[in-house]
Amino acid sequence: MNRERFISELREALRGLSQSDIDERVEFYSEMINDRMEDGLTEEEAMAEIGSVESVVEQIMGEIPITALVKEKVRPKRKLKAWEIVLLVLGSPVWLPLLIAALAVLLSLYIVVWSVVICFYAAAVSLAAGVIAALVGAFGYLRLGKPAAALFAAGAAIACAGLSILMSVFCVWLTKAIVKGTGKVLLKIKRSFVGKGE
């Protein structure tokens, strides 16, 4: 990919942003390409170092707050007419509660997901506590002269330790997956704002 095509595709991918934001980002990456070429790289090598347009857009979207995107998108391109304002005000008893309810449902679902993760962490901690309790029980049975019960308690301690380790690994994986998934969803929301530019 050459420089002109990269800049053209970047402008197109960022078309939903304000013109000043687009110009600022394009100028930044244009200067970055020029700097790399001044350091002795060819145009193709400089472009390869920067990465694809998709990766650049993903990085830009990660840096821009979603509130700025929403503000840019909902800013009217023209002044609202009196009848439009009246309709917005009169319709607000319908659309405002629906919007609040939709946001509340989404927030509730997100909280439920994290509640499940917390339950898994609690189970992992309980299994770790079970290891300690089983070891204490094993020593207690040994002192009482019950080797079979002590052996059973030691086995239970080993089983709890293994399950605790597995559960901890699963909890860490699940937490990372949810955080990564949340980031991807936010990025898609941001990209949907940018992708709907005129």
pLDDT tens figures, 52-73: 888 888 888 777 777 766 666 6
pLDDT per residue as tens digits for the range 75-126: 666 787 888 888 888 988 998 999 999 999 999 999 999 999 999 999 999 9
The pTM of the full predicted model, rounded to 2 decimals, is 0.62
Residue 53's pLDDT is 83
Task: Tell me what pLDDT residue 70 has.
Answer: 67
Predicted pLDDT at 74: 62
Would you say residue 18 has pLDDT above 50? yes
- Mean of pLDDT over the chain: 86
When mean pLDDT is compared over 12-16, 105-109, 187-191, the highest value belongs to: 105-109
- Domain residue spans of the chain: 3-64, 92-195
Burial code of 10-36, b = ≥16 C-beta within 10 A, e = fewer?
beebbebbeeebbeebbeebeeebeeb
Amino acid 25: pLDDT: 85
pLDDT digits (tens, 9 = 90+) for 155-166: 999 999 999 999
Residue 135 has what pLDDT? Answer: 95
Q: pLDDT at residue 197 above 60?
A: no
Say if residues 179 and 185 touch (Cβ distance below 8 Å): no
Give the Cβ contact number of residue 186 at 10 Å: 13
Q: Where are the alpha helices (DSSP H) in 39-146?
A: 43-50, 53-63, 66-74, 82-144
pLDDT score at 76: 62
pLDDT at res. 44: 81
